[in-house]
Homo-oligomer: A and B are copies of this chain.
Amino acid sequence: MLDAIPPGNPLSGDEFDELELPLRMDLLAAQQSLAAANRATILIIAGVDGAGKGALAQRLCEWMDPRGIETNTFWERSDEEDSRPYFWRFWRRLPPRGEIGIFLGSWYTRLGRKAMSGELTDGEFAEGCQRIWEFERMLAEDGAIIIKLWLQVGRDARRQQLQERAGKQQNPRVTDRPYELQGDYDLSQNIASEMIQRTNSLYASWHLLDAEDKRYRDITAGRVVAGAMQRHELSVVGNQIDHAVEKPSTPSSLADVDLSRVLAKDDYKDQLSKWQRRLQDLAWQRYREGRSLIAVFEGWDAAGKGSSLRRVTNAVDPRLYHLARYAAPSDEELKYHYLWRFWRHIQRDGRFTLFDRSWYGRVLVERVEGFAAENEWQRAYYEIAEFERQLLDNESTLCKFWIHISKDEQLKRFQERESTPHKRYKITQDDWRNREKWSDYETAVNDMLAATSTRAAPWTLIAGNDKRYARIQILKTLCQAMADDSNEG
């Protein structure tokens, strides 16, 4: 495929000058119009080592308004990145809506390198491409324009160029021993071809171009970028796509929960202290192993999320957990894909990240209240599956709790809160309003359970009418999930 790229047409300086000005106007206009439309642009510049990826990035920044463009590389080691799920580093560098992110290193870099070194089976390589495909689809469906350029130069031209330029190059990262000089050129081309084929999608297509002549390279790339930015109206946002989601192992629904379960006070005391001690030890053990726990707490209003969470946090050294609460997104968070604000709280390996409400808000409150359009919450099921897969791939343990109570029990608790002065702040008009939509929420919860309870990340339904019973179930589930994962490892 890569050798079938049509050869470039070398341009003279005069030809270049003539083509440059109108192209520049087009790029600037497209940049302004996307900024006004609040659309993020992601531009990946990949290609043969030393084909001028950096020079092209610089040219594009020169042609457009550098205010609103961020160029990302991953040259420097970052132990904060190394100690989190792999995609965390990309999520945090994504451009906000209205701006442009150029990626000179990207989610393709590691996969390509691993394939070159022979570490991957064919299946693993295909799987890696699939993860990228899904990631890009997710961003595109959220409105991002994704443009991917591959800069190609022929082997002989490259060898000559590299030898000539040795010593003059300032960029510290042009590989000391490029594949061309090592005899790995053909392999690298084959891997690149396959990666490109497997990740070429409607959402994010690859544009291959001959980069031997610099002027031709810059003009052609500029035109591709301008064209893609101008065509943004045609992009796939809002399309309905059939998202395949892994079927749950044990579909369960709220009706399955036995709300009559109770725990006597004395039993509770014994079990609480037993499981809290166990949790404390496991937290330290996990810290030493560098393995994280991610726990999601969802449930009806007044189901006891807060008091259950306290039984967890009280047991764990506060240096080992981070508790993230979610209500309405901030204006900064609204500038990104809705998953961004959960990614940003993922802690370094070996910690607990506790989510008091979570990414499931998308298919619960946002669905029921209409904050998310139907196609948005529909596709959230597969987006969530992708997100959780990233967490699991990083050897995190993931626990998801829905604390269930009956509608009567909720009423009792609401009334109690209203009549207790120091609890009154906990109850608002919103809570009463949500209660009126109980059956809509019930549907949403059951759909969520059916769609997102996978073998590796099952939901645990907690019978919450008896608070003591609920708290112990949660502590026990957390401990057992971590113990199970350790046995596996």
Interface residues of A (CB under 8 A from B): 32, 54, 57-58, 61-62, 65-71, 73, 75-80, 83, 102, 104, 170-172, 281, 284, 287-288, 306, 309-310, 313-314, 317-319, 322-323, 325, 330-332, 348, 356, 425
Closest 5 CB pairs of A and B: A71-B318, A170-B284, A66-B313, A62-B314, A61-B318
Least CB distance from A16 to B in Å reads 16
Least CB distance from A351 to B in Å reads 10
CB contacts (< 8 Å) of A306 on chain B: these are 65, 67
- Report whether B57 and A319 are in contact in the complex, using a CB–CB cutoff of 8 Å: yes
- Bound complex: CA A68 to CA B318 (Å): 12
Least CB distance from A284 to B in Å reads 4
- Report whether A310 and B66 are in contact in the complex, using a CB–CB cutoff of 8 Å: yes
- Report whether B73 and A319 are in contact in the complex, using a CB–CB cutoff of 8 Å: yes
Least CB distance from A293 to B in Å reads 16
- A67 (CB) vs chain B CBs: closest residue: B325
17 A–B contacts, CB within 8 A, in A order: A32-B425, A54-B318, A61-B314, A62-B314, A65-B306, A66-B310, A67-B306, A67-B325, A71-B318, A78-B79, A79-B79, A79-B80, A80-B80, A171-B284, A172-B287, A172-B288, A330-B332
- Bound complex: CA A314 to CA B61 (Å): 7
Least CB distance from A8 to B in Å reads 23
CB contacts (< 8 Å) of A172 on chain B: these are 287-288
- Bound complex: CA A78 to CA B77 (Å): 10
CB contacts (< 8 Å) of A70 on chain B: these are 322
Least CB distance from A55 to B in Å reads 9
Task: Apart from A67-B323, A330-B331, list 9 A-B contacts with CB within 8 A.
Answer: A58-B317, A65-B306, A67-B306, A68-B325, A78-B80, A170-B284, A172-B287, A172-B288, A330-B330
CB contacts (< 8 Å) of A66 on chain B: these are 309-310, 313, 318, 323
CB contacts (< 8 Å) of A281 on chain B: these are 170
CB contacts (< 8 Å) of A323 on chain B: these are 66-67, 69
- Bound complex: CA A293 to CA B247 (Å): 54
- Bound complex: CA A68 to CA B327 (Å): 13
Least CB distance from A283 to B in Å reads 9
- Report whether A58 and B318 are in contact in the complex, using a CB–CB cutoff of 8 Å: yes
CB contacts (< 8 Å) of A322 on chain B: these are 70
- Report whether A76 and B73 are in contact in the complex, using a CB–CB cutoff of 8 Å: no
- Report whether B75 and A319 are in contact in the complex, using a CB–CB cutoff of 8 Å: yes
CB contacts (< 8 Å) of A54 on chain B: these are 317-319
Least CB distance from A58 to B in Å reads 5
Least CB distance from A126 to B in Å reads 31
- Bound complex: CA A288 to CA B173 (Å): 12
